[in-house]
Each structure stands twice: as structure tokens, then as C-alpha cells.
Amino acid sequence: RGTSSLNGENSPLIVIDGVPQDFVGINGISDPLSLINPNDIETFDILKDASATAIYGNRASNGVILITTKKGTAGKFKVNFSTVTSVSTKMGNVDVLNADEYRSFVNEIAKTNPAVAVNASRLGSANTNWQDLIYQNAWGTDNNLAFSGGVKWLPYRLSIGYNDQNGIVKTNSFKRTSVGLNLNPKFLDNHLSVNINAKGTFTDNRFVDSGVIKAATYFDPTQPVYSGNPKYGGYYEWTDPNNTNTGLNVNGTSNPLGLIDGIHDVSSAWRGLGNIQLDYKLHFLPDLHFNVNAGYDYSKSDGAKTVSPIYRAGIADLGTYNNYSMEKKNKLLETYFSYLKTINSISTTIDLTAGYSYQDFYTSIPGSVTFKGTGQNTSTSNFETKNVLLSFYGRGIFTIANKYIISASIRRDGSSRFYNGTKSNLWGNFPGVSVAWKINEENFLKDKGIDALKLRAGWGVTGQQELPTLDTNKPRNYPAYAAYNMSFDGAQYQFGDQFFFMMRPEIYNPNLSWETTTTKNAGIDFGFLKNRVTGSIDIYQKDTKDLIVDSPIAAGDLSNHNLLNVGNMQTKGIEGSITIIPIKKENTTWEVSFNATHYKSKITKLINGADSTYRILVGGIDGGVNNTVQAHTVGYQPNAFYVFQQVYDSN
């Protein structure tokens, strides 16, 4: 449903078995979700409506994804095994000039441009499709084995998985081994339900340099792959006789195959994810439950990147070697009471929940050294941080006469990221309400062939406490208090052959607070022909205020810009989906689904007192310094393209 922030996080909150995840990646892992075995997932629910997301407070402005993993079931011992072998291939190449077209183009320009004429003399006679050379058919296999059943009072499920997947770019690969255990016994005459989840995943990755694909589209198609010379690993590279250091043309594109062979970038990661949930149904009041959920998410990664001294990428430094590691801990303790009462005489249900949640996030990235063959090694500093989130919440859902549904919720979040010594902006409140009407339950629609017809509307407030990281996977606290920090890894001071970090005072804003998004939505759900045709239509409007903007400030401070709550943004949209089941038999089901969405976002405010021409430039591109092609501007969508319009004359 569009973005909710200009500088903050725009990804949905992911909750796995009741444990909310953080938004920080893991060094050496392209996607933290790749550490979860999809075969262990039972359900995958997406929350988008205002009232449904409001209960998740200051992390739910971009929706919530609820992942529930498979559990043990009482009964006979069962063994399930599945294996899948797949092959992936690229859909096509970027449309670029082939060798003949490229030669013709360069020679034509060279007729009137002496500078190009010099380069035209360097055109080769080969016909090389660089994109075809870097890609491969990527074979993969995914194997899963699960044991389930019950031993007297102990239902269980044990799963083992192994995935081996090659990438479509040569040498890229991913391997995952996973183990999962679930136990869900009951005690005290079924008044106490226990759910124990434990999952462990180990992955091995080999990465490809991010510049390989670009190099394959840029490199001269008239040149051969190999030069016939052992220098630069035997690969053809653009050279410059005036460069007495490496002999390379520093502005030339790297040979993409040389990038693949010359860089060895590997990592391994371990993730342990688990929780213990206790649900106690009070003996003296069975409708009242007391629930405790203790969760733990631990990740550890290690990696090493070696750049060979004989290839273009490493020749200037005579080769480099760097190893890195990262550790993350996410702990949760949540307790809540829930009350569910059905009054059959009036077909009414009361569902009440009230609870407390404590969650802390710890990240540690040890400093590392990049060893260079030249001896001019560089290093990064240690990084360690911990953030805490406290929450109180309550929700009530009332279903009256099995037709009318009223829901209301409130969540109060306190985040250590906003602590400035006074706690003035530490807490935020996030309410939500919704109503629904099951029209098909009314007498005038009964027995009319309508299985479901529900109107609904909602309103809710959610928040945003994430800021973009200044360095890879390093969580960032809001600069709300005076502090000194180490200089960035790329801003060290050199004494001789050594580089040293510096301490610098940080610009800060003691009044900084989180962004808040107010969402209004309305929709209709329908089902016909014994629910062989189902669907929904929704309209919504999201208004985000107090957008955190990196704004210019008056001269004389520690910087010429600072983070301020000065922006507003609005998103309006409509979405719909329909599912048709043409065939539904005992052993065969054919289901066809279609969905579509349209939304439009625009910035309604950026800087107090600024005119309509004020813009914040974003979207950096290659070439030159600080070149951009996008901008944040009032009246336009975020990241709108801001470029010169091409003008053609009659010729």
C-alpha cells in the first residue's frame, strides 16, 4: 500500500510464532528470511487494515506479516518426505549493441569527433556477448523430511531440510541445512497448553561481486574474453600506457569474467529461533486465559572476502583479504490475559485481550582488518548496541447477533531509541477501531445464494521507529541527545602507513520523535456459489505526519543539516482480489486467483516555510560527484524522477 516514510523503514513487520523480528539484516546473508525453511511454515497471513495493524504499534506502518510454523499433532506416527529439483534461467538480456552495431556506431561518430577517433582505433574484431558468458542455468534441489505423531500426552513434529541452490550468475551459490522441533503437550486436565518451538538453520553462501552484471552490459563487445597474456589473470582489460602503477585504464570497465574469477566472497551463518508459550485456562473461570510467550532469536555469521592480486580488482593493492562477523540477539517476554465468552441466547461473542510485552535487540559487529599486499591495511571499529521496546496493549472484539462486529484496540509503546534524558518522546499511543456488518446474515439475504457479504471500515494509527543504517546492518538510534561517535570506516585519519579513527561530536535534536501514520480504510468481502467464487475490494487512505527529514539548519551548529520532524505524506489507493474454484473434488482442486492494486502517494509538506520549489535530491547515479536523478518535492510522489526533459527539433 505504498511507502510510509522518506528516510525510515518501508518493509512490513514480520512476526514468527508470536516473536516480532527486527529490521536489521545479517552480514553475509542476502535476506534473513532465507534462514527460515519454507517447508516448516503452516500459515502466512498479511495484515494491512488500520485496526489490524494498530495493535502492533510503532513498527506496523507498512503492514504486518504473521508466520506460523507447523506443530505436532496427536495420532499415529507419520513420515513425510518431499524432494524438488529445479532449474532457473534468466528471462533475457539487457538490450545492448552487438559487436557489429557497436563498431558501426563508434566509427560513425569518429568521422566528426577526433577524440572518439582515437578510441575507434582500439576496436577489436571479436563478437562477444558478455551477458551470455556470466549467466548459467541454475540447478537446485530442496529436500525435506518430517516425523510427526504423539507419544501419549506429547504431540511432536521433527523436521529436517536441505536446500542447495546455484545462482544464475556463475559461482553464486546458497546452501541451507535446517532442523525444527515442535512439542505441544497439555497438562492439568487440558487447562495448561504448552507450545515449544525450536528451529536451527545453517547456511553457506558464495556471493558474486555486485558489479558483474553492470560490467557485462558495459564492456566492449568487440573485445575478446582473453588477451593471450598472463597479466590480469589472462583476461582482456582496458589498459593505459601512462599508468605506470598497474597499467590499467582507471576509467575502463572491468572484464566481468575477471571479476567473477578474481573475487572469492563466502560466508556462513547460523540462526536459532525458538519460543515457549504457556496458555493457562483458569479452573475457576474457563473463559479467561493467561498466556506467557518467551522467545529468543539468535544469529551468528562469519565471512571472508579475498581479492586476488593478479586480477584487475586487486592489482592496485597487490591483493586484499578481509574477514568479518556479526552477532544478533532478539529476546521477547510477553504476557497477556484473554477472555472469550459466547452468549448463545443472543448469538453474541465477547473477545477481550490485555497484555504487556518486553523486547530487546542486541547487535555486535567486531572490528575487522582488511589486509593489503601493499601493507597499507585498513580497519573498522567495533560496533555494539542494544535497544529496548516496552509495550502495553489492549483489544476488544464484540460480535453481536452474529452480524455486527465492533473492534477497538490501543497500544502504548516506549522505545529506548528516543531516550534523550527526559523521556519526553519515549512513549507513543497507537489506537485503532473498526466495524463490520455481515449482510448475508440478515433475513432479507438468507437463502439468496450469497454465502458471504461483509461490509467493513476501520481507522488506526501506527508508528515508525526505524532509521536507515549509516553502515551495513548497523542499527541506528535517533540522534536525540548529545554524544560523541567514532568516525565512519571511510573517514579515518592517516599517520604514515596507519589509519586512525577520530571522535566527533554528533549533531542531535532533543525533540525528535517517531513518525505516525493514520490509516482509514473501507472494504467489502463476498462469496457466491458455495464459496466457489470469493473476493474483496478495499479503498484506503494513509496520512503520515512528522516525517523525519534530513533538513538544512542555520549556520553555526555542528552540521549544516539535521534530522527534523517536518514532513507529511499522503497515500490513496484501491485494491481488489477474486478467487474462483472451477474444480473442487475429493482429490482434485483447481483454484484461480487474480488481484490488482493501484495507489498514488504525494508529499504534502517538507520544510516549514519552504516554497513549492524546495526539494531534497536523492537517487544517486554513477558518474561525477553527487549526481542524482530523483527528488522529494511537495506535490509529487516520494523519489519522483527529477531530470531534464529531452527536447528534439525538427531534425
pLDDT digits (tens, 9 = 90+) for 355-387: 999 999 999 999 899 999 999 898 888 888 899
Residue 36 sits at φ, ψ, to 5 deg, of -105, 130
Number of residues that make up the chain = 651
**Would you place residue 481 in the very low, low, confident or very high pLDDT band (cuts 50, 70, 90)?**
low
Q: How far apart are CA 404 and CA 348, in angstroms?
A: 9
How much is the pLDDT for 644?
86
Kindly state the average pLDDT of the residues 633-637: 92
- The number of helix segments (H) and strand segments (E) in the chain equals 7, 31
Is residue 614 pLDDT above 80, yes or no? yes
Kindly state the average pLDDT of the residues 550-563: 74
- Residue carrying C-alpha cell 441466547: 345
Is residue 470 pLDDT above 60, yes or no? no
How much is the pLDDT for 291?
97
Is residue 329 pLDDT above 90, yes or no? yes
How many CA atoms within 13 Å lie on the side-chain side of 242?
Answer: 3
DSSP sequence for 340-399: EEEEGGGTEEEEEEEEEEEEEEEEEE---EEEETTS--EE---EEEEEEEEEEEEEEEEE
Contact 372, 402 (CB under 8 A): no
Q: How far apart are CA 540 and CA 317, in angstroms?
A: 55
Task: Give the least confident one: 1-5, 105-109, 160-164, 215-219.
Answer: 1-5
Task: Give the least confident one: 466-480, 484-498, 527-541, 542-556.
Answer: 466-480
Average pLDDT in the chain: 90
Which residues, at least 6 apart from 322, have a Cβ–Cβ distance to it below 8 Å? 304, 305, 368, 369, 370, 371
How much is the pLDDT for 561?
74
- Taking CA 467 as the corner, what is the angle to CA 461 and CA 468, rounded to the nearest 5 degrees? 135
Q: How far apart are CA 499 and CA 492, in angstroms?
A: 6
Q: How far apart are CA 29 and CA 35, in angstroms?
A: 9
CB-CB neighbours of 206 under 10 Å? 15
Q: How far is the CA of 63 from the CAs of 57, 394, 421, in angstroms?
A: 11, 19, 31
Is residue 258 pLDDT above 90, yes or no? yes
pLDDT digits (tens, 9 = 90+) for 259-276: 999 999 999 999 999 999
Q: How far is the CA of 536 from the CAs of 48, 440, 503, 526, 573, in angstroms?
A: 13, 15, 56, 6, 14
Task: Give the least confident one: 483-487, 526-530, 562-566.
Answer: 483-487
How much is the pLDDT for 86?
97
Strongest mean pLDDT among 68-72, 545-549, 577-581: 577-581
How much is the pLDDT for 101?
96
Is residue 10 pLDDT above 60, yes or no? yes
**Would you place residue 24 in the very low, low, confident or very high pLDDT band (cuts 50, 70, 90)?**
confident
Contact 607, 617 (CB under 8 A): no
> What does R_g of the chain's alpha carbons equal in angstroms?
29
Question: What percentage of the chain exceeds 90 in pLDDT?
Answer: 63
Residue 310 sits at φ, ψ, to 5 deg, of -95, -5
Domain with CATH 2.40.170.20 in the chain: 13-93+129-219+254-608
Residue closest to 385 by CA, chosen among 265, 465, 477? 477
Is residue 562 pLDDT above 90, yes or no? no
Residue closest to 141 by CA, chosen among 167, 121, 164? 164
Which residues, at least 6 apart from 345, have a Cβ–Cβ distance to it below 8 Å? none
Write down the CATH superfamily of domain 13-93+129-219+254-608.
TonB-dependent receptor, beta-barrel domain (2.40.170.20)
Threshold 0.95, pTM exceeds: no
How much is the pLDDT for 333?
97
Is residue 626 pLDDT above 90, yes or no? no
Is residue 625 pLDDT above 90, yes or no? no
